[in-house]
């Protein structure tokens, strides 16, 4: 008889006695387990890794079956957990959201380089300037999106230039000074640079109307073609 078979047989014969022992010694067993895990972290981690590698399909099948059998139970648990931990989960969500787009070392360099370029540009054009890398970082959108077009901005040579972040002056007659600059995508900046806000709105409304008319025109063409096809089919019958 193998060790595993012996243990199984022993458990079956002494099930009730073992259950009673566990009930009476809950705290002691928990403490021993905690101490064992603490002293054997690496060994347990290695065993778990090896076990998961050897039993991938079996574990996946068990998880799938368990989820199917406990859908309602899990949903109830999650609902109860959410109700008890609303504030903590909300704070965790905010923290995660803040850190999700936390600037990388490359972005820190990007802010510093951008401040240096704007300083040179301001000096050449003789316009006011009082920015620095830290300030530019502080006003960068937390979600990393262009506030004008709601598209994700990406800095770097490998990025689409239209998605690159750019610093825009809110009042073009003012300088690159605090309170007068905002981060937007290069695409939004190009659109704004080429026209006044009124012209942008006018062009936008024109294309919106044109798009609607085009869709209507295409729909009518398809409808007319369908009617003609049906008429032709009825004549040939």
Domain residue ranges of the chain, discontinuous segments joined by + = 70-100, 105-193, 196-237
> Which pLDDT value is given to residue 225?
64
Confidence of residue 216 (pLDDT cuts 50, 70, 90): low
Confidence of residue 73 (pLDDT cuts 50, 70, 90): confident
**62 or 219: whose pLDDT is higher?**
62
- Rounded CA gap, 42 and 65, in Å? 30
Which numeric CATH code is attached to 105-193?
Answer: 3.30.40.220
Distances (CA, A) of 204 to 18, 188, 197, 209, 217: 76, 13, 11, 9, 20
Quote the percentage of the chain above a pLDDT of 70: 80
Confidence of residue 120 (pLDDT cuts 50, 70, 90): very high
> Which pLDDT value is given to residue 44?
86
> Which pLDDT value is given to residue 161?
82
> Which pLDDT value is given to residue 41?
86
- Rounded CA gap, 112 and 179, in Å? 18
How does the average pLDDT of the chain come out, rounded?
A: 80
> Which pLDDT value is given to residue 218?
61
Q: Which residues contact 107 (CB under 8 A, 6 or more apart)?
A: 137, 155
């Amino acid at each position: 008889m193998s060790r595993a078979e012996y243990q199984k047989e022993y458990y079956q014969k002494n099930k009730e006695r073992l259950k009673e022992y566990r009930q009476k010694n809950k705290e002691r067993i928990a403490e021993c387990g905690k101490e064992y895990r603490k002293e054997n972290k690496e060994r347990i981690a290695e065993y778990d890794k090896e076990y998961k590698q050897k039993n991938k399909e079996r574990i996946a099948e068990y998880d799938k079956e368990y989820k199917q059998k406990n859908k309602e139970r899990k949903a109830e648990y999650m609902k109860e957990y959410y109700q008890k931990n609303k504030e903590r989960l909300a704070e965790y969500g905010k923290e995660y959201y803040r850190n999700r787009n936390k600037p990388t070392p490359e972005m820190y360099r990007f802010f510093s380089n951008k401040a240096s370029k704007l300083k040179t540009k301001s000096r050449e054009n003789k316009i006011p300037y009082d920015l620095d890398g830290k300030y530019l970082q502080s006003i960068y959108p937390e979600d990393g999106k262009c506030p004008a077009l709601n598209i994700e901005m990406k800095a770097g040579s490998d990025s689409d230039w239209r998605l690159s972040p750019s610093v825009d002056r809110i009042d073009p007659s003012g300088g690159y000074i605090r309170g007068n600059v905002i981060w937007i995508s290069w695409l939004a900046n190009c659109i704004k640079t080429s026209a006044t806000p009124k012209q942008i709105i006018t062009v936008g409304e024109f294309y919106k109307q044109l798009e609607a008319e085009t869709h209507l025109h295409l729909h009518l063409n398809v409808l007319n073609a369908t009617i003609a096809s049906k008429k032709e089919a009825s004549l040939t019958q």
